[in-house]
Amino acid sequence: MYFTPRPPMQKIIDEAVKQLISIIDSKKNSKEVAWQFILEELDAARQGNDFVKDRIQILYVNDADYIGAMNRSWIDVDGPTGPQQFLVLLTMQISKEIGIDNAAMVRISIVEYIMCHYKFGRFYVDNEIRIAKKPLKLFEVIVNDENLLHSNFRHLLEDENKPLRDVISRWASGFEDRDNKFNYEFQTTFNSSFWEVYLYQCFKDLGLNVDFSKASPDFTVQKTNGKMINVEAVTANHAHDSTPEWENGELKENDDFLNFASIRILNAINSKHKKYHETYSKFEHVIGNPFVVAVAPFEQQMFFIQNNEAINRVLYGQGIDKDNGFIEVEVPIALKNEKVPLELGLFTNDKYKEISAVIFSTMGTLSKAITQSSLDRDIRSSRYHNRKGLIMEIKENDKHFETHLDGLQIHHNPFAINKLPKDAFDSYEVTHYYYDIETKYIDNQQKNYTMISRNSWPSAAKNS
């Protein structure tokens, strides 16, 4: 159900938003007032009709943040000259004209516009530029032989892609080049370095401090409570005898596609598990703290369509049978070269107890940068909903909103020696997975309207 305001009502909404922004900006701590105003509105709206309740979920605010917000207000928000009173009086007035339910729909629409203006929730973009002691210089070409430049890097150097370079440079701001080789690797091998830059912005968005004084693993992050978490990044790349993801080739059939993805992801995780035993386990800052492997797939053409299917096979030995009503099935092995069985289900026993969790995403790609840029693109996305199923959207880039964290999955190892705290990497759009050892049930805690997949292509409107 979507609410499309009639032209006169849209005019009222636009004027109300303008007035509310003026009121909020007149307050001393305008950003705090805006956020509290939003939380109070959501707190009140959760008692509303089905449209309003559903609309709340689109906005990407955890219910723990807004439940009870009306009891935590102050005069700048709730006083006679505050935004709350203005919107209450307006709602009462228009409810006489169009009824209570329609007035409630208008009210939550106004709240959504306010959130968009102040870049809260689903509309959040962190534009902060941080200064590093040894900053990355990703796009200053240092490779003498152009043939060594990675295809994706060469693509970014094209004139029209300056907005993408700006976005990626913002992600990288504050990143310390500890070993003086990051820029070279970004330009020549690209994917693994790009994944690290993407992850670094994730940590910034999550309010985590990265300690670059630690040479390895890749990231040692700290929460505000001082708890230390070590994260090692890795990508699942194409095999030496397979077609790279940046080249056009024949797309594998579904089973072969997922089997190959599983093998490459398994190989990537195994390499870091081995590295933990050989090296990381001896570091003082690693001992006794969670150790997380962050893996992204870049192993084949169209890798980004796999969502969680391959990682669920790798970690839990489970898949779905698309030819039989999408029922869950056991997938205990992957076949390498069509004959060598590789055991799957890493988190179904204690063989990988040193790995606290796995971070995974198929959406930490160049398309993520596109959604944060001004480029003219059409964006096709699919979102999760527990009642509506898959929600498909096709929008122009300037109308599409997703956060940097959208699409991020956190898979918790039930056998981990040092478990990842449940509140680590916590944000509405981040999906946490927990595996029940007894029932073999995967508790996928994905929330409504969060992203499952997304891809982009040149705008049809621009080319028409």
Residues 242, 332, single domain; the answer is yes
User: What is the amino acid identity at position 178?
Assistant: R
Note whether 228 and 358 are same-domain residues: yes
C-alpha span between 348 and 199 (Å, rounded): 26
Helix (H) or strand (E) holding 268: helix 254-278
Q: Do 280 and 215 form a contact (C-beta atoms < 8 A)? A: no
- The rounded distance, in Å, linking the Cα atoms of 445 and 430 is 9
Judge whether 70 and 8 are in contact, CB under 8 Å. no
* C-alpha Rg value of the chain to the nearest Å: 24
Domain of residue 365 covers 184-463
Q: For CA atoms 30, 35, 40, 41, give the dihedral sign.
A: positive
Whether 108 and 196 share a structural domain: no
Report if residue 156 sits inside a domain. no
Number of domains in the chain: 2
For 164-183, give the DSSP string. Answer: HHHHHHHHHTT-B-SSS-HH
Say if residue 192 is in the same domain as residue 86: no
Distances (CA, A) of 188 to 146, 244, 267, 356, 361: 9, 14, 22, 31, 22
395 and 269 in a common domain: yes
Q: Is it true that the peptide bond before 332 is cis, omega within 30 degrees of 0?
A: no
With respect to residue 170, please indicate whether it lies within any of the assigned structural domains: no
Asked if the structure places residue 210 within a domain, the reply is: yes
Please give the structure tokens belonging to residue 119: 């870049």
Domain boundary among 107, 123, 139: 123
Do 313 and 410 lie in one domain? The reply is: yes
Q: Are residues 190 and 306 in the same domain?
A: yes
216: nearest Cα among 321, 270, 286: 286
- Together in a domain, 312 and 419: yes
Among 83, 108, 123, which residue terminates a domain?
123
Q: Are 47 and 101 in contact (CB under 8 A)?
A: no
Residue 88: per-residue pLDDT: 96
Low-confidence residues of the chain, pLDDT below 50? Answer: 1-2, 464
Of 95, 123, 151, which one is at a domain's C-terminal end?
123
> Whose structure tokens read 């630690």?
214
119 and 263 share one domain: no
Closest CA to 407 of 262, 289, 283, 306: 306
Structure tokens, 173 = 């701001």
Cβ burial, residue 424 (10 Å; 0-12/13-18/19+): buried
- Are the CB atoms for 108 and 56 separated by under 8 Å? yes
Q: How close are the terminal C-alpha atoms of the chain, in Å?
A: 31
Residue 159 forms part of a structural domain: no
Q: What is the pLDDT at residue 182?
A: 96
Contact 253, 301 (CB under 8 A): no
Counting beta carbons within 10 angstroms of the beta carbon of residue 126, is it exposed (0 to 12), middle (13 to 18) or buried (19 or more)? middle
Same domain assignment for residues 61 and 207 = no
Is 448 a domain residue? Answer: yes
Q: Would residue 169 count as lying in a domain?
A: no
How many beta carbons lie within 10 A of that of residue 349, not counting itself?
A: 13
This prediction has a pTM of 0.94
Q: Which residues pair with 377 in a beta bridge?
A: 458
User: What tokens appear for 41 in the block?
Assistant: 């509105």
The 10s digit of each residue's pLDDT in 293-319 is: 999 999 899 898 899 999 999 999 999
CA contacts within 13 A on the Cβ side of 25: 9
pLDDT value of position 318: 96
